[in-house]
Amino acid sequence: MTLPDFSLNRRAFLGRAATGIGALALGSLLNPRMLGADLPVEEKWPGVVRPLHWPAKAKRVIHLYMAGGPSHLETWDYKPKLKEMHGKPMPDSFTKGQQIAQLQGKELKCFGPQHDFQKFGQSGQEMCALFPHLGKMADDICIIRSMHTDQINHDPAHTLMNTGSGIPGRPSMGSWLLYGLGSSVDNLPGYVVLTSAGKGGQMQPLAARQWSAGFLPGRFQGVRFHSKGDPVLYLGNPPGTTREDQRGVIDAINSLNARHHAATHDPEVLTHISQYEMAFKMQASVPGLMDVSTEPASALELYGAKPGDGTFASNCLLARRLAERGVRFIQLYHRDWDHHGGIKNDIKLKAGEVDQPAAALLADLKQRGMLDDTLVIFGGEFGRTPMGQGDGRDHHIKGFSIWMAGGGIKGGVTYGATDEFGYAAVENPVHVHDFHATLLHLFGIDHKRLIHRFQGRDYRLTDVHGEVVKAILA
């Protein structure tokens, strides 16, 4: 294309910026095609935390979000005592005065773990036997068995897990991270959301609020990629319009906009021009990203993915491709973990869907030397009761498990513990706020110093709480 002549505008604009806006804002106002073309992306789109509060261990997150509330008792937290007590009344001392969801007013009976556990790896981490593939990665994984949260229903619990508050309207952790660190990629969104459903029947809804930027500017929001149709909404050109046609239209738009800027000196016009350039880049880069046909058959086999099937396995492979391209926060929602009934079979089904791909992701990252600076998180919004609900379990917030790997986290470690019934986190409890504080810490951010003012108040991802879990840092 012919580049519009920016020379005059640039001078006029710099004049304005130098007097009015200040040198700090300058960098982010300039068009990369004008000035910053050779700068590293981080320099072009800086975050608000500059410099970092301390050196970062992690550069990106892959969050394997098991939506619906996975049972810790059939995954990462073995409770022989509960097995022994199966069918007997749950001791009143645990449950009295505690918040309960669907079991309100029902008789509370112990419900033993439905699957066996075994020890894996050198570290001998105890994990459910349904996860043999992840078992092979046990020495890279840190299991936290002492998570707890405040929200007992899916919707607010997801909102708390993602934003640090049960009240809608706050930014999600991915948005905070982008806001703090800036983007490290300029032809893809910095925060990408992928979703998969699975084959069970317990599909709890999922709101776009979970990846919303809340009160932060909209450009920090997560962008959901779709497995059907345009991977990013409105990505495809109109019918009968080739990439060259589109280039021609965008050139005309930008050329007229540049002239408009020359007349008005409105810096917003420059922003607008750059967004069209980036949109055009995305139109090429996203399909390339989604096209896994370039992957060797061995990679597909490793993950157990078929191109374009939209499964969790395919999403894990895409997550790795996104990570390679520099996307900062990658969130994979896998739904259908809400096992109020039939937990024995359903959890087996879920394990079958996620075990191999999640392990493949870890192995793949490791083999590429990327696990060191990629934080992988596996977990849901809450856990499930040690008390049975028929042949399933109810929502539970007093104790549950997640695991993390890579990105500055110690491998082969089990941290914290619930009591012998798996009811409450009793040893080294980790609240969602602590989890958030730790996450930011790994990125070189002091969670108490990443703030944004809204409605007269300084907000943080961790609100007024949060302690970094130092013991699990590598």
- Please identify, using beta-carbon distances, which residue of 176 and 415 lies nearer to another protein: 176
250-289 residues near another protein, rule: CB under 8 A? 250-253, 255-257, 259-260, 264-276, 278-279, 282-283
**Whole-angstrom Cα distance, residue 178 to residue 171?**
11
- Please identify, using beta-carbon distances, which residue of 234 and 298 lies nearer to another protein: 234
Q: How far is the CB of 306 from another protein (least distance, A)?
A: 19
Q: How far is the CB of 332 from another protein (least distance, A)?
A: 13
Pairing of strands 191-196, 413-415: unpaired
421-450 residues near another protein, rule: CB under 8 A? 448-449
- Please identify, using beta-carbon distances, which residue of 33 and 83 lies nearer to another protein: 33
Q: How far is the CB of 161 from another protein (least distance, A)?
A: 15
Residue 110 DSSP symbol: B
- Please identify, using beta-carbon distances, which residue of 281 and 306 lies nearer to another protein: 281
- Please identify, using beta-carbon distances, which residue of 214 and 407 lies nearer to another protein: 214
- Residue pair 374/406 in contact (Cβ under 8 Å)? The answer is yes
Length of the chain in residues, anyone?
Answer: 474
**Alpha-carbon distance values, 182 to 64, 153, 285 (Å):** 22, 33, 20
Q: Which of 223, 332, 432, 445 forms a contact with another protein (CB under 8 A)? A: 223
- Please identify, using beta-carbon distances, which residue of 7 and 241 lies nearer to another protein: 241
Q: Which of 121, 236, 341, 352 forms a contact with another protein (CB under 8 A)? A: 236
- Please identify, using beta-carbon distances, which residue of 99 and 345 lies nearer to another protein: 99
6-25 residues near another protein, rule: CB under 8 A? 15-16, 19-22, 24-25
The window from 118-126, 197-205, 373-381, 412-420 that contacts another protein (CB under 8 A) reads 197-205
Q: Which of 40, 107, 122, 167 forms a contact with another protein (CB under 8 A)? A: 167
- Residue pair 342/190 in contact (Cβ under 8 Å)? The answer is no
Q: How far is the CB of 425 from another protein (least distance, A)?
A: 19
Torsional sign, CA 43, 49, 51, 56: negative
CA-closest candidate to residue 325, choices 212, 185, 177, 221: 185
Asked whether position 343 contacts another protein by CB under 8 A, the answer is no
- Please identify, using beta-carbon distances, which residue of 117 and 400 lies nearer to another protein: 400
Q: How far is the CB of 93 from another protein (least distance, A)?
A: 18
Q: How many residues bind another protein (CB under 8 A)?
A: 106
Task: List, as one string, the DSSP characters of 294-317.
Answer: GS-HHHHHHHT--TT---HHHHHH
Binding mask 85-124 for another protein (x = CB under 8 A): ------------x-x-xx-x--------------------
**Alpha-carbon distance values, 225 to 110, 195, 232, 330, 366 (Å):** 41, 8, 5, 11, 25
Asked whether position 234 contacts another protein by CB under 8 A, the answer is yes
Residue 457 DSSP symbol: E
- Residue pair 388/74 in contact (Cβ under 8 Å)? The answer is no
**Alpha-carbon distance values, 160 to 90, 127, 157, 397, 426 (Å):** 28, 27, 5, 12, 21
Helix then strand then coil, in percent of the chain rounded to 5, is 40, 20, 45
Q: Which of 113, 164, 171, 182 forms a contact with another protein (CB under 8 A)? A: 182
Q: Which of 80, 124, 217, 307 forms a contact with another protein (CB under 8 A)? A: 217
Binding mask 35-74 for another protein (x = CB under 8 A): ---------xx-----------------------------
Q: How far is the CB of 386 from another protein (least distance, A)?
A: 17
Q: How far is the CB of 56 from another protein (least distance, A)?
A: 20
CA-closest candidate to residue 382, choices 126, 99, 167: 99
- Please identify, using beta-carbon distances, which residue of 94 and 295 lies nearer to another protein: 94
Taking each helix axis from N to C end, the angle separating 7-16 and 243-264, rounded to the nearest 10 degrees, works out to: 50
The window from 54-62, 134-142, 163-171, 417-425 that contacts another protein (CB under 8 A) reads 163-171
Asked whether position 369 contacts another protein by CB under 8 A, the answer is no
Taking each helix axis from N to C end, the angle separating 432-442 and 173-181, rounded to the nearest 10 degrees, works out to: 30
The window from 124-132, 242-250, 365-373, 375-383 that contacts another protein (CB under 8 A) reads 242-250
| Phi, psi at 274, each rounded to 5° | -65, -35
- Residue pair 210/158 in contact (Cβ under 8 Å)? The answer is yes
For residue 256, give the H/E element and its range. helix 243-264
- Please identify, using beta-carbon distances, which residue of 57 and 154 lies nearer to another protein: 154
To 5 degrees, how large is the angle CA 442–CA 149–CA 392? 120
**Whole-angstrom Cα distance, residue 77 to residue 113?**
9
